[in-house]
Amino acid sequence: MISKSNQLILLLSMFTIVTACRVQSNKEKSKHKAVAKGEIVEKLDDKIWSIYQDLNGNYWFGSNGNGVFYYNGKQLKQFTTDDGLVDNTIRGIQGDHLENIFIETPEGISKYNGNTFVTLPLISAPSNQWKLAPTDLWFNCNGNANDIYRYDGEHLFELKLPRKDLGKAFGGPVYGLGFKGMNSSPYSIFGIAKDKAGNLWIGTIVAGAFRYDGDSFLWIAEKELTTLDDGRVPGVRSMIEDKNGNFWLSNFISRYKINAKDSIVQYEKLQGIGQLDSLIQNRIPYFNSGLSDKNGDLWMTTYTGGLWKYDGNMLVNFPVKDGTTEVLLISIYEDNEGIFWLGTDNAGVYKFNGATFEKFEPIKNKNSY
């Protein structure tokens, strides 16, 4: 029988794989050119998986099935496929230096220029399109077997990670989530992040993590980053760099130090949080989203375990409740004012100032920004 914690890991994995990105080619997908008017609404959807603050201070909230919401401090507007959005299931939101907004969905990437949504055509690219420029945007499309997408400001390139001997590295068979009808592979990507030096970090379902510096890849292949002995598939969903330059890859168990000498880059595995079992008890030792704040403290969300803070010495848990109901956390985002925004799977969005939680209600908060 699968335990409750294992079911939660499996559930989150299924959420990701079911929505595998199906970006279509330039010949297959036409561009939307209708003016996106949107609809003024009073509340957010209950399932908000992604949050982003644009260059003008406006907030964008991506829902799991009801499009994207835009909040300018005065009114809340909802955009859907009726406005030209390629799909209503949102898996990520980014912006570029030109104030364009990019909406990541299972059906492709929608670019919003302030007036219209355009679906970006996809180009299957050779390996020489692996490049790393400061203005590039990267998309994982939440588990697509085609690996990763790089947008250089003009073109959206489809790229593949280097293939490795997974069985040899992990000491046994390694497999993705082979659910019927799902397009997944061990290299399907769960998370993308950039470190302070600009290197790209890529987390997969069961193939570990990759670090790309613009010239070469460093592969981090450790047992806690793949299929676990009990059958769980946590995946590398989030990558955080701490104040000492070490990297945390979706779990409290280990952290990794990068060593570069004579043009050779290697990693060293270090202990994560000591006495972990007594600290987290029966909770899952994996986090699905995280960040490092201005003080260097780490903040990590778990689906049913609340929000966690680690300052390098102590791990502290902050339970999140909607009345008596446990809030299921999906993501964490820090805005320009240092306020944390928590995306959830059942209670909309919560704000956290480091001490208290407040459910975000746009109408109530319209004079707060």
27-52: pLDDT as tens digits: 344 444 567 789 999 999 999 999 99
Three-state DSSP at 182 gives coil
**Per-residue pLDDT for 145 more than 80?**
no
Percent of the chain with pLDDT over 90: 65
Q: Which amino acid would we find at residue 209?
A: A
| Residue closest to 303 by CA, chosen among 282, 325, 324, 327 | 327
> 281: pLDDT confidence band, cut at 50, 70 and 90?
low
pLDDT at 14: 42
pLDDT at 146: 58
Output the average pLDDT for the chain: 85
Q: Rounded to 5 degrees, what angle do the CA atoms 14, 303, 287 make?
A: 95
How are strands ordered across the β-sheet holding 217-220? Answer: 189-194, 200-204, 209-212, 217-220
pLDDT at 188: 85
Residues 219 and 164 sit within 8 Å (Cβ to Cβ): yes
Mean pLDDT throughout 139-149? 69
Q: How far apart are CA 205 and CA 226, in angstroms?
A: 7
Q: In Å, what is the CA distance from 99 to each residue of 17, 137, 153, 205?
A: 30, 13, 12, 32
> 177: pLDDT confidence band, cut at 50, 70 and 90?
low
Contacts 24+ apart (CB under 8 A), 165-168: 166/206, 166/207, 166/221, 166/226
Q: How far apart are CA 170 and CA 224, in angstroms?
A: 10
Q: In Å, what is the CA distance from 24 to each residue of 51, 113, 124, 257?
A: 25, 21, 10, 38
Of residues 14 and 141, the one with the higher pLDDT is 141
Bridge partner residues of 158 (DSSP)? 124, 149
Domain locations along the chain: 30-120+309-369
Q: How far apart are CA 309 and CA 326, in angstroms?
A: 18
